[in-house]
Structure 1
Amino acid sequence: MLGGREGPGMVLNYDEVVRGGLARQIADTIRAAILDGRLKVDERLPTEEELARRFGISRPTVREALKRLAAQNLVQSRRGPTGGTFVARPDPAGLAETIATSATLLVGFGAFDIDQIVTARRETEAICCRLAAQHRTPGDLDRMRAEIATQETTGLSDEAFCASDVRFHRALVEAGRNGPLSLMMHAVIEAFIPITNLITFRLRDRREVAMYHRRIVAAVEARDGAAAEAALGALLDYLRAAHAAALAAREARAADKDHPRGP
């Protein structure tokens, strides 16, 4: 005790910090071996006991290191007589979902404002428009047109419209036939579009959105990347204006609540 209070050594668990540091180092060592190809996909790692002996550490520390790797989808455990810990086979869909979930959390916490989101969409999806114009197939056009038809359906719920909006832009991205770009765009499509719809759905006109979508498809069909990019820019300008109107309406309601008008 120091001056009637616990000193720093009594508050912090230094043993835990050391163990955590070792686990991170071991995880980083194994991760590097996976990424540079020394450990192959589906290759079985040594047992916890073997790893502990080779690294000169405890089994709980090895177990913590393997948990870190599993959280990064780099290794997976299998049960049974031939079980153990194996190098995981890459799962693009699972990785994309993880990226989208993380981006959604960041948006929910207010890490990005609407201007940043619209700018990100404008810059990244513009590339997708140009690639889609080069590589689209009749099937790509059919998928996008099917979503436009859904968006123009009378009585469609807001949730169904937003889901169709996401599917339309996902089809636009996939028409570009670029795997790395599709992976990167997953966060933009699956996280940014829903949050934009959540804010603007009361003030944006579905018919206007569908009209811009039709312009994008027409340009992609004509293999005119510049026109597709311009149509996308016009759509985002429209959504930015709808967002500004939504914020103004929200502020007006708050002002009326704080300062109600007399009879």
Structure 2
Amino acid sequence: MSSASPPKTDRSTEIARSLRDDIVAGRLLVGDRLPSEAELAEQYGVSRPTVREALKRLAAQSLIRSRRGATGGAFVNHLSYEAAHGQQITTSTLLLSMNAIPLETACEARFAMERACAPLACARRTSAHLDTMRAELDRQSDAQLSDEAFCASDVAFHRALVDAAANPVLSYQLAGAVEAMQPLMNMITFTARDRARIAALHRAVTDAVEAQDAAACDAALTALERYTVELAGAVMARRAAKTPAQPGS
């Protein structure tokens, strides 16, 4: 029996990829007007609805913007790190959940990137960054804080640490690490974690950043990573113990 042939790529996807490649390669620059729908339809030998669908794909990626009127059309957009921030989080969350990445792997990657960010954060932090980190520490010390609110504070704390590095490229890359990985880690470990211990480690990070002590910040983040992995292991072990044995096992 012959194997099934691979599915053909949708034409709108091909056109969107071609135009995106032109943007990435610099053949289409920021502010350039794309050919009209009719021109693109003729160029690619497709219908205008197919071209329209391709342009929608590019707009969804914030690569182009539309303008109406006599001088309107589709234009190459100025893509900022802030605009791409949400896409990075969504993509990272989907990759982790769909591919069932082990928590240890995600944790290793996330903290490795955050530790790389720590020396810059220590060197460049401002009073505003420190104020945000200490405000989250105060929230985390509230015994009445819900699990959901504690998780949100946890993410906000690490977001402030990343932002203190004052490097938009790092902030973009770490958006997925902090704001996608951290909530997933919290979902696994929140039932077993010791909030006081986490807050103490966060305080050690904050004190190190304030003192501009990169080595101490690295050590605190390493301890936090170790504790997170230990928690996850304990939770998984308890879940496995509660799972009834399968017949014949």
TM-score by length of 2: 0.87
Moved more, 148-157 or 38-47: 38-47
Moved more, 55-64 or 164-173: 55-64
Instruction: Identify the residue that residue 245 of structure 1 maps to in structure 2.
Output: 234
Secondary structure in 2 aligned to 1:203? coil
Secondary structure in 1 aligned to 2:243? helix
Inter-partner Cα distance in structure 2 for 1:196 and 1:133: 25
Q: Tell me if structure 1 keeps the 8 A contact 2:81–2:168.
A: no
Report the CA distance between 1:57 and its aligned residue: 4.5
Choose from 55, 68, 84 the match for 2:73: 84
Choose from 182, 186, 198 the match for 2:175: 186
Inter-partner Cα distance in structure 2 for 1:28 and 1:126: 35
Q: Tell me if structure 1 keeps the 8 A contact 2:81–2:169.
A: no
Q: 1:54 to 1:245 in 2, by over 3 A?
A: closer
1:43-192 correspondence to structure 2 within 5 Å: 43-192=32-181
Secondary structure in 1 aligned to 2:79? coil
Q: Work out the percentage of aligned pairs sharing the same amino acid.
A: 46
Report the CA distance between 1:215 and its aligned residue: 0.4
Secondary structure in 1 aligned to 2:100? coil
Q: 1:229 to 1:52 in 2, by over 3 A?
A: same
Inter-partner Cα distance in structure 2 for 1:115 and 1:36: 37
Instruction: Identify the residue that residue 212 of structure 1 maps to in structure 2.
Output: 201
Report the CA distance between 1:82 and its aligned residue: 4.0
- The amino acid that maps onto 2:233 is A
Inter-partner Cα distance in structure 1 for 2:62 and 2:48: 21
Q: 1:25 to 1:117 in 2, by over 3 A?
A: closer
Choose from 22, 35, 40 the match for 2:29: 40
Structure 1, unmatched stretches of 5+, are 1-6, 259-263
Inter-partner Cα distance in structure 2 for 1:224 and 1:107: 32
Structure 2, unmatched stretches of 5+, are none
Q: 1:246 to 1:28 in 2, by over 3 A?
A: closer
Write out per-residue CA displacement over residues 104-159 of structure 1, whole angstroms, 9 at most, x where no aligned residue.
12322353101101111221110111111111111111111110111111200000
